[in-house]
Structure 1
């Protein structure tokens, strides 16, 4: 292996190097039995982030409307509490938040297809912590989805 090949494998990352060695990762969601694209496939990170921004903005607006002392630390705390309630109530009943609905996403349980409220509570509590959502598995699910037994799909 010359220096150019070594540098190229380092820049492309471990997944590309493993694929060159013959490892077949498949597509995201294949291990869950989901289609590769279209409705029912694993949601892409851009849509998920967009839905999160819409939901968080909505919760901040509601918290700001409830408090008359302006925007401060208490507004952020209330926004997080509203975000938790919004996630548990909407994902636990209809499977999506307003932001997810706007971006064409839905949360489903891997085993049964419907998200029960306790799964939505676990998922949303872990999402409020932030860190589990930043750790993804091979199928594109965040740690919060993995621990709750859910997956976010395109509707």
Structure 2
């Protein structure tokens, strides 16, 4: 009778037959702990931004904002139905051209409104409210914070700050120029929304 060799078929010891037990595989668990948010900078360490740097950030933001919105607007005009019409040149002369139909104009107006609203909520509400600044502000080394504690504005206050900019702009941009003689260097919309634009 031939002796049975437990190692002949497996090439090694078998668990339960005098062999070494196989080590259990440990599953790697993903770290479910949320990332800690960046703590706000102490109020005493914040430095308010100057007029020219803020102006540069506004110009950059308008340039960055206008490119995608303008592209979407042009794309919509190309695909919407048109009809023969008359267009006018800068010198007052007219020429035959294709113009949007009345129905297309209504669709185009609604499309443009939706694009602008989405862009504003994403560009200002999220980037400025949650991330601390729009691309123009980041490129110029600025960020927007709450005046009381230096924390991010939040989407609600960022949107409110956007609409109060119209108040700063209406009387000959007096609300913007106000920061030149304001003791803290703030505009009207900064004051109304209790916000500050500071150096990052």
TM-score range normalised by the length of the shorter chain: 0.5 to 0.7
- Which residue number in structure 2 is paired with residue 125 of structure 1? 163
- Residue 48 (str. 1) matches residue 91 (str. 2): no
Larger proportion of helix: 1
Unaligned residue ranges in structure 2 (runs of 5+): 1-42, 79-108
| TM-score (norm. length: structure 2) | 0.50
Write the mapping of 1:1-155 to structure 2, written as runs, cut at 5 A: 34=44, 40-68=46-74, 69=77, 81=117, 82-83=119-120, 85-114=122-151, 115-129=153-167, 130-131=169-170, 132-136=175-179, 137-155=182-200
Bigger radius of gyration among the two? 2
Q: 1:144 to 1:52 in 2, by over 3 A?
A: same
CA distance in 1, matches of 2:165, 2:115: 14
- The higher-RCO structure (CA 8 Å, 6+ apart) is 1
More strand by proportion, 1 or 2?
2
2-side partners of 1:84 and 1:142: how far apart? 22
Count of aligned residue pairs for this structure pair: 116
